[in-house]
Structures are given as C-alpha cells and as structure tokens.
Amino acid sequence: MKRRLFVVLLLALGLSGCGGGGDAAAPASGWVPTSAAYADVCRTKLPVQARDTLALIAKGGPYPYRSDGIVFENREGRLPRMKGDYYHEYTVVTPGSPTRGARRIVTGSVGEQYWTADHYDSFEEIDARC
C-alpha cells in the first residue's frame, strides 16, 4: 500500500513515466528495488501473449493452465513483501514451448500487475496507460 502511495505521488509530481527506470528513491516502507528490473513496461510493449493473458485476467478466465490464478508466494523476494494470498500468478503462453515456459503475469490484490519473462528472476510493473 505504501508503494502504491509512493507511485501515485511520483505520478502527481510528474517524475515517473512509461518506460521509466528503476532508480527512484525507496518508498517510505524501506523496501528497495533489487535492480533496474523494476522499470515500468508499457502494456502495449508486452508480447501479444502477455496482453492475451491480461485480457483473460480482466474477464476472470478461462485460463489455459490449471495452475493459473494460484497464490504467488514471492519466495524470491523480488516484489514488495506482502502477507498471505496477496499475489496471484498467471501463465503467459510461450509459442513452441511444450511446457508452461518461463513467462508470467503476477497480480497484486490492489490491482498492480507485474511481468516476468524469466520465471521470477526479474519483474517489471505493467503500465496500463501506454
């Protein structure tokens, strides 16, 4: 919640924009991004399969994999630490892959959405405004 307030404050001050870097000051919570992987990514710049997954999430499914929508535990600690079932993960289909592949969308309970193309090694927050 504090991170969301921080983002709103940045937007109000005009300090953040689509494609911005991950070098912003740490929010009041003390949480610090682990790398530039926290830069925003414009929704329109995501692969078409990721945009398809976002559309499925918006309408509540049906999802292509039975594990879609499960709780994402954030074991790697790459996202802000939250309790319980705050995050949920969804598969982004990888063309030609015989498995679920490494691409995911992770959503937070207050509406934030994150993209990872490397199975949770890095995340970008999805900016739906662009």
How many other CB atoms are found less than 10 A from the CB of residue 80?
Answer: 19
Annotated active-site residue 88? The verdict is no
CA 81 from centre of chain: 14
Structure confidence at residue 39 as a pLDDT band (50, 70, 90): low
d(CA 121, CA 50): 17
Q: For domain 2-127, give the CATH number.
A: 3.10.450.30
Annotated active-site residue 119? The verdict is yes
Task: Please state the pTM of the whole predicted model.
Answer: 0.71
Structure confidence at residue 60 as a pLDDT band (50, 70, 90): very high
- Amino acid (1-letter code) at residue 89: E
Catalytic residue among 73, 76, 88, 89, which? Answer: 89
DSSP sequence for 87-104: EEEEE---TT-SS--S-E
Does position 21 have pLDDT exceeding 50, yes or no? Answer: no
40-42 vs 124-127, strand pairing mode: parallel
Mean per-residue pLDDT of the chain:
78
104-122 pLDDT, tens digit per residue, is 999 999 999 999 999 999 9
Mean pLDDT of 60-86: 95
Instruction: State residue 100's pLDDT score.
Output: 92
